[in-house]
Amino acid sequence: MINFMYKYILKNKVLFFFNIVLIILCASTEIVKAYLFKYLLDSATISTYDDFIYAVIYCIGFLIISFTIYILSDLVDIRITKKSLTNLKNNLFKSILKKDITTFNGNNTSKYISMFTNDINMLNVDFFENIKSLIYYITVFIMSFFGILSISYYFIISILVLGYIPVLISNLFMKKIASLKKDYSDKLYEFTNKLNDMMSGFEIIKSFNLEHFSNTKFSNINTDVEKANSNVKLIESLLSNINSICSLFLFLFNMLLGVYLIINKQITVGALIATVQLMNNIINPLGNLVEIKNKIKSINLIYKNIEDEINIKTTDQFDYVEKNIFCNKIQLKNVSFSYDKDKVILKDFSYTFLKNKKYAIVGSSGSGKSTLLKLISKYCVNYEGDIFIDDVNLKCLNYKNLNTLMSLINQNIYVFNDTIKNNICLNQTYVENKLSNTFKQSGLTEFVDNLPLKEDTMIEENGKNFSGGEKQRIAIARALIRDTPILLIDEATSALDNINRYNIEKAILNLPNITSICITHNINEELMKMYDEIIVLDKGSIVEVGKYTDLIAQNGYFSNLISQVPNNEAMSM
């Protein structure tokens, strides 16, 4: 899992190599500092005034060089981290976009948001920021080790014997810390999920006086996530304090050893000060290396979550048939579908939709109308039977090809925090009269003309500055401007008034060279007569098919539905 993270750092090989050189130079300044202290003290006891002047010059030069090296090292490290995190987040986002809609909806969107915020932040803190420290401490440790060895091997023996204690203790805590960090990540995901849910449902909370309930619910999940965070901090703090005590013991032991060696005239006072300084570069890194090792390994499960998400096999990795032209028909053969085994939504459904014909789908709630369009548009793929676009099986078409052939106007309208124009054109360029014609077809002309900024008016978050009907017309325009040969409409005018509903549906029915399949609750006789065929569903099966006048004459299921609508007003079907 850690190798997965290293590859993002190694994508910037030149910068990474340069950074290692700078880190080694930074570590070298610590060794030079120790010998500089030795030189200063020895100069005070056994040297001349001229040596003191040289010492001042050495100190100034050392400060200037150290400052330059550390600044350069930080700048390069920041750049590597920026590039690595940018690539990681880009790859994560690309992998999510490659999913089909069914797979994407298999996870709560809060999980994805939590990955980009909480998990990536944990990687930044516990991995990327620690990589530089890891290289630095290892380099300092090695250099200091040989520096002390050149002064007296007695210190090295004590460090090797006593220095292993914190390493041994850290290994005992490693699995526990990893488990607690995974729990913290899970709690953060749950917190993000619930918070997003409550913010999205703010109007419901206020309308139904759910403030007390929501406060209690938020307080509980907030307590849980902070408790999980505290558990991580507690065990990390315990381990850190144990390492500190071990380091202090090692330091005091070697100080006493140094005093003993001075008494026996085996080293000078300057040598002892240099040894103390070098010893700090061994004792402190030893404890820090243990902590860094634990932090990097403790988020293995976080690495795994992101790695699995990026490496997941998506639909774009399969071999598909290229198809850019719709020629004859959409054919469903013995199609059955259920969201769970207990409830069948579509049962043995067979039908052929012919090119350039207009079809209305009607039926009571739960009869399978919306599911039928989801299957045709490949929103759901785990169905039995076959669906063909001309002679090509739908499962053999990739989404990009399919989306050039059909547009779906869904019940669930989403508008982006962008201009009206950009919400309709979706980053595509169209000639100016094409946009104005689409406004006319979707009933937006008068509405847009009355806005100060016209089509450049910004839509706020979730379209809160627009009504439901206005957002619905934008969604209709978004589909119509693409001029796809197949148009799937799922109660696209439900939020509109009767006049706009009538005008838009009539405009769609008059579109030439368009195969439209429309779920409608607008049982208007004039409009119904414009459809080539009306398909009546009940409990996932076709019960009647025909033109409006024929179905009325049959006095069957469709006629019964019509009779339940007073004065031919809109009916929820």
Structure confidence by residue, pLDDT tens digits, 125-170: 777 778 788 888 888 888 888 888 887 777 777 777 776 677 677 7
* 531 and 519 Cβ atoms separated by less than 8 Å: no
**Residue 534, pLDDT score:** 92
Task: Give buried/exposed letters for 364-394 (b at 16+ CB in 10 A, else e).
Answer: beebbbbbbbbbbbbbbbebeeebbbeebeb
Last residue of a domain, one of 290, 315, 340: 315
Average pLDDT over residues 380-408: 86
Average pLDDT over residues 509-515: 87
Query: Does residue 387 lie in a domain region?
Result: yes
* 112 and 96 Cβ atoms separated by less than 8 Å: yes
For residue 130, CA distances in Å to 124, 175, 448 come to 9, 19, 54
* 404 and 324 Cβ atoms separated by less than 8 Å: yes
Query: Does residue 488 lie in a domain region?
Result: yes
Please, which pLDDT band fits residue 2 given cuts at 50, 70 and 90?
Answer: low
Residues 220 and 356 reside in one and the same domain: no
The domain containing residue 165 runs over which residues?
2-315
Residues 498 and 553 reside in one and the same domain: yes
Residue with the larger pLDDT of the pair 415 and 303? 415
pLDDT in tens, 88-134: 888 888 887 777 777 777 777 777 787 888 788 877 777 777 878 88
% the chain with pLDDT above 70: 90
Q: Please report which residue ranges of 364-497 form alpha helices under DSSP H.
A: 369-376, 399-405, 420-425, 432-441, 445-449, 468-480
* 134 and 257 Cβ atoms separated by less than 8 Å: no
Question: Phi/psi at 536 (nearest 5 deg)?
Answer: -105, 125
Query: Does residue 269 lie in a domain region?
Result: yes
Is the pLDDT score of 352 beyond 90?
yes
Residue with the larger pLDDT of the pair 359 and 461? 359
Environment class of 212 (CB within 10 Å of its CB; exposed 0-12, middle 13-18, buried 19+): exposed
Average pLDDT over residues 302-321: 69
Residues 267 and 411 reside in one and the same domain: no
Total residue length of the chain? 573
Query: Does residue 140 lie in a domain region?
Result: yes
Residues 300 and 406 reside in one and the same domain: no
Last residue of a domain, one of 315, 349, 383: 315
Residues 311 and 385 reside in one and the same domain: no
Query: Does residue 469 lie in a domain region?
Result: yes
Residues 277 and 193 reside in one and the same domain: yes
Return the closest-CA partner of residue 426 out of 478, 462, 386, 469. Answer: 478
Return the closest-CA partner of residue 277 out of 490, 494, 41, 446. Answer: 41
**Residue 568, pLDDT score:** 45
Cα(300)–Cα(185) distance, integer angstroms: 12
| Helix (H) / strand (E) containing 457 | none
Query: Does residue 320 lie in a domain region?
Result: no
Cα(129)–Cα(17) distance, integer angstroms: 16
**Residue 351, pLDDT score:** 93
Number of domains in the chain: 2
Question: Which tokens hold the place of 5?
Answer: 């993270």
Return the closest-CA partner of residue 121 out of 229, 200, 13. Answer: 229
CATH of the domain at 428: 3.40.50.300
Residues 340 and 286 reside in one and the same domain: no
Average pLDDT over residues 469-493: 85
Last residue of a domain, one of 292, 315, 338: 315
Average pLDDT over residues 349-361: 92
154: left (phi over 0), alpha (psi -120 to 50) or beta: alpha
Taking the CA atoms of 56, 61, 64 and 67 in sequence, report the sign of the dihedral they define.
Answer: negative
Type of residue numbered 266: Q
Is the pLDDT score of 533 beyond 90?
yes
* 386 and 421 Cβ atoms separated by less than 8 Å: no
**Residue 354, pLDDT score:** 93
Is the pLDDT score of 46 beyond 60?
no
Question: Which tokens hold the place of 285?
Answer: 């890194």
**Residue 141, pLDDT score:** 84
**Residue 572, pLDDT score:** 36
Average pLDDT over residues 45-61: 76
Residues 455 and 505 reside in one and the same domain: yes
Question: Which tokens hold the place of 572?
Answer: 């929820």
Please, which pLDDT band fits residue 565 given cuts at 50, 70 and 90?
Answer: low
Q: What is the four-CA torsion angle of 221, 226, 231, 237, rounded to 10 degrees?
A: 170
Average pLDDT over residues 52-75: 88
Query: Does residue 321 lie in a domain region?
Result: no
Cα(514)–Cα(533) distance, integer angstroms: 15
Residue with structure tokens 């739908």? 394
Residue with the larger pLDDT of the pair 248 and 518? 518
**Residue 5, pLDDT score:** 65
From 250-254, 453-457, 512-516, the region with the lowest mean pLDDT: 250-254
Query: Does residue 174 lie in a domain region?
Result: yes
Question: Phi/psi at 326 (nearest 5 deg)?
Answer: -95, 120
Residues 334 and 299 reside in one and the same domain: no
Residues 170 and 248 reside in one and the same domain: yes
Cα(497)–Cα(507) distance, integer angstroms: 15
Q: What is the four-CA torsion angle of 55, 61, 63, 68, rounded to 10 degrees?
A: -170
Task: Give buried/exposed letters for 327-341 (b at 16+ CB in 10 A, else e).
Answer: eeebbbeebebbeee
Is the pLDDT score of 538 beyond 50?
yes
**CA-atom Rg of the chain in angstroms:** 35
Is the pLDDT score of 330 beyond 90?
yes
Computed over every residue of the chain, the mean pLDDT equals 81
Beta bridge partners of 537: 363, 542
Residues 304 and 353 reside in one and the same domain: no
Residues 311 and 430 reside in one and the same domain: no
CATH of the domain at 111: 1.20.1560.10
Residue with the larger pLDDT of the pair 79 and 298? 79
